[in-house]
Structure 1
Amino acid sequence: MKKLLLLFIVLLVFSCKTVEKTETKASYKATPESVGSTLSYLTSDELMGRDTGSSGIAKAGTYLMNMMQSNGVKPYFNSYRDTISNFNKTAYNIVGYLEGNDAKLKNEFVIIGAHYDHIGIINEVNGDSIANGANDNASGTTAVTEVMKYFSKAKSNKRSLLFVFFTAEEKGLLGSKHLAQRLKNENMDIYFMFNFEMIGVPMQRDDMLLYLTGFGKTNMATTINNYAKTKLVGYIPMQTQYQLFRASDNYPFFTECNVPAQTVSSFDFENFNYYHQPDDEFELMNLPHMANVINSINPVLEKMINAPQKEIKINEK
């Protein structure tokens, strides 16, 4: 009887450890609720449109830094704040660091970013003058927070990750220009940079979920779609017409660091009429779409980050 009781206890302990191990490995999934929680704060009137150098964007920055800390993402520099040197007010990028788990590949970095600034208080429309910037670019900022949660829980990244919320994008990509130069001066071994911009509403088409700016500059699109086993990203003519590859925070990393650096977006100039207007509000964002984008991208990013070799290359001209 004592032997049977001892065997039962051993099996029970082993079973608990097995369950615990399985739960630890469970992958994080974005939900409309998790997306909405972050997005609703970033678009609140309390932040006054998140203009660069304002008290409103400082509140947004504190919120994002607290989220990094609570998810075990450390500062890359002495603090999360990377104060930029090319703007006439105090403004900063927020930079978090998740070390890779491979002894060799952790010396290579992947940057995942979005700009968290917007344009602040503007001319009044229908009694509202706060440009809350839900689509532009609280949606992209929220996506980065969800990618960060995914990797901080999975701890599956072989390469090291920088999660970056850029300031002063609306002032001329000043935050990303500053950081790209700073990391270049440090001789950081950057593999690629992946940027989120305006993913709050779906495109009115079913042949792709997102488009990738600078589509032909690298083989990133092919790599993404091969891993996704579907056409996750594609090309639309508007991105060439409006030179969108040069218009977001990917571009300084492409020019300064000479690495693959591109942006995904679902804003196609036909599906959202409130660009840089006060009506770019939380209520117009499609939370299930955003959660779908994030959950579609995360496992693909994981495969890209963990590839044995740098398979994403800049195409020869």
Structure 2
Amino acid sequence: MKKAGFILTLLGILVTASAHGQGKNANSITAAQLRDYLTFIAADEMEGRDTPSRGLNTAAKFLATNLSRWGLKPVGDEGTYFQKITLQRRRTDPAQTRAEVNGRSFNFGVDFLNREPAPGTASGALVYVGHGWLIKAKDINPYAGLDIKDKIVVFLSGLPKGISFREIRGRQGEDLAAPMTYAAKHGAKGAIAIPNFQSLATWERNRRNAVANGSVVVEKFQQSNDVSIPAITASPRLLNALFEGEKESATAIFNRGLGGEAVAPFELRPDKKASFVIGIQSDQVFTQNVVAVLEGSDAKLKNEYVAIGAHYDHVGIGTPAQGDSIYNGADDDGSGTVAVMAIAEAFARGPRPKRSILFVWHCGEEKGLWGSRYLMENPLVPLPQIVAQLNIDMIGRSKKDGDANSENAELTGANEVYVIGSKMMSTDLGVVSERVNKSYFNLTFNYKYDDPNDPNRFFFRSDHFNYAQKGIPIIFYFSGVHEDYHQASDSSDKIDYQRMEKITRTIYATAWELANAKSRPKVDKKLPAELTAN
């Protein structure tokens, strides 16, 4: 017992000494510093940092300027801090876009809008398929007894009554399928969506956006074997033409659809044919990840990397709310962006760890985790050499005493943070995470969402997911959604900078520990195949 006690005491001294070393440099990260950086990143002049946009490019240059000033190594394209990503912008060409029902003409913008930013032509008989969702777990199959091959399917926007996206589980295309997915897979020529109130309310804005701005896609993500079909959303005028003379009227179908209900699916008269053509104008635009490395001090271990990242994009300029149309994204994810900046600065100005540190500011997270996916498919360092990835997304807000707003119910407290994934793939990583925290600020690590099956699906909703898919153990730091999430009101004056300082210092200390550990965290747990399938 005495010997065991001596060993425990010695370990305690070593942990305390290590924590002191971490803490000394971590203490250079301050609330004032975070405030200064975020005031710039979340300023109106950044125009919401959409991907791609002038504001996002300005933010990228701000990051690169500071990385250069701190002496961090650029590892992007051609000796820069930027990993360039080629996008394709697709705008609707009204002059080349038209529709017909039994020879009667309909015009883009007035009678219909295209749903997908892709060119295409569809022609054929029509089948009404209700909401069009196949959900086997709920015994929902609107296609039973219907032949949709070589036809145009007509479906209601939204989910069937009593179904939420949180409930939908299973293998895509097998246990469940959205209308467009099912129709394409089973040979339909095209699809026509019946609008809901939301799509009608935003009709004119969507028309203008389709022509002026269009949509962007990552060129490298487009696969020649993608199965897709052209689709449009119909106006009430076009709907009336589609269901004229049918056993159910457009009005009845539309009204029941608004309540989540659906008239039973049926094939429209065989003598009724519809066709539409979608014309698209395409051009190339570009965006970028921002990447830098602090080279490790150990001759061997410097070839391994601890990755630290956040997404520096947001959602741009949107629907005005109380006179403000710029979605500043201070918390989402300006908070993570500047936390990684502060950590990078602390590492650059302090002693070098044994392993190298890879700093990444991902673009396009809001579009579908674009930047992290692109980096994983086009790595700038060998992926097997990344020992762990620490992802920081929305750590700026905290629950205030007396806040009864239900939209803020899941915010963490002033000394608390949600931790997701730390033990999911590596026992070692979870141990390091807990040990560092307990020896430093001793924050409350809330593991409420640390489950891929959690209905909120936060594990899938930020950039760490693409690293995890490649077998890299991750930790995701997150403070919870709130009333200003994806609103113009997500501004820098609402950030709890003192709390953010503590979380950022803790992440720095965790990265320091991982970068100096004798061994890398062992991956001793595999994610289920359905979670990592592309």
TM-score class normalised by the smaller sequence: 0.7 to 0.9
Deviations 1:236-274 (A, max 9, x none): 14862211111101111111x21102311112x3xx211
Tell me how many residue pairs correspond in the alignment. Answer: 289
Root-mean-square deviation over aligned CA pairs: 2.2
Are the aligned partners of 1:166 and 1:176 in contact in 2 as well (CA < 8 Å)? yes
> Does 2:297 correspond to 1:101?
yes
Deviates most, 127-136 or 287-296 = 287-296
2:457 to 243, 251, 254: 243
Are the aligned partners of 1:143 and 1:294 in contact in 2 as well (CA < 8 Å)? yes
Over 3 Å counting, the alpha-carbon distance change for 1:254 and 1:308 in structure 2 is: same
What SS does structure 2 have at the residue aligned with 1:112? strand
Are the aligned partners of 2:415 and 2:499 in contact in 1 as well (CA < 8 Å)? no
Over 3 Å counting, the alpha-carbon distance change for 1:122 and 1:238 in structure 2 is: farther
Matches within 5 A, 1:152-191: 152-183=348-379, 186=382, 189-191=385-387
2:466 to 252, 259, 264: 252
Deviates most, 212-221 or 73-82 = 212-221
Query: For residue 424 of structure 2, what is the aligned residue in structure 1?
Result: 217
Query: For residue 323 of structure 2, what is the aligned residue in structure 1?
Result: 127
Deviations 1:47-80 (A, max 9, x none): 1000011101111011000110111111013211
Query: For residue 116 of structure 1, what is the aligned residue in structure 2?
Result: 312
Deviates most, 180-189 or 105-114 = 180-189
> Does 2:390 correspond to 1:194?
yes
Query: For residue 264 of structure 1, what is the aligned residue in structure 2?
Result: 477
Deviations 1:204-253 (A, max 9, x none): 65696222223541333332111222455330148622111111011111
Within 2, Cα distance between the matches of 1:241 and 1:105?
39
What SS does structure 1 have at the residue aligned with 2:286? coil
Matches within 5 A, 1:1-317: 27=25, 28-77=27-76, 78-85=79-86, 86=218, 89-183=285-379, 186=382, 189-203=385-399, 209-218=416-425, 219=427, 220-229=429-438, 230=442, 232-237=444-449, 240-255=454-469, 257-267=470-480, 269=481, 272-316=482-526
TM-score, scaled to structure 2: 0.51
Where structure 1 has 5 or more consecutive residues not aligned to the other structure, the ranges are 1-24
1:157 is displaced (CA, Å) by 1.4
Where structure 2 has 5 or more consecutive residues not aligned to the other structure, the ranges are 1-22, 87-217, 220-283, 400-410, 528-534
1:126 is displaced (CA, Å) by 0.4
Deviations 1:65-123 (A, max 9, x none): 01101111110132111012425631100001110001111111111000000000000
Over 3 Å counting, the alpha-carbon distance change for 1:210 and 1:314 in structure 2 is: farther
Structure having the larger proportion of residues in helix: 1
What SS does structure 2 have at the residue aligned with 1:91? strand
Are the aligned partners of 1:76 and 1:162 in contact in 2 as well (CA < 8 Å)? no
1:297 is displaced (CA, Å) by 2.4
Deviations 1:130-167 (A, max 9, x none): 00000100000010001101111113311111111000
Query: For residue 22 of structure 1, what is the aligned residue in structure 2?
Result: none
TM-score, scaled to structure 1: 0.85
Within 1, Cα distance between the matches of 2:353 and 2:299?
11
Within 2, Cα distance between the matches of 1:185 and 1:152?
19
Letter in 2 for 1:82: Q
Structure having the larger proportion of residues in strand: 2
Over 3 Å counting, the alpha-carbon distance change for 1:315 and 1:150 in structure 2 is: same
Over 3 Å counting, the alpha-carbon distance change for 1:44 and 1:184 in structure 2 is: closer
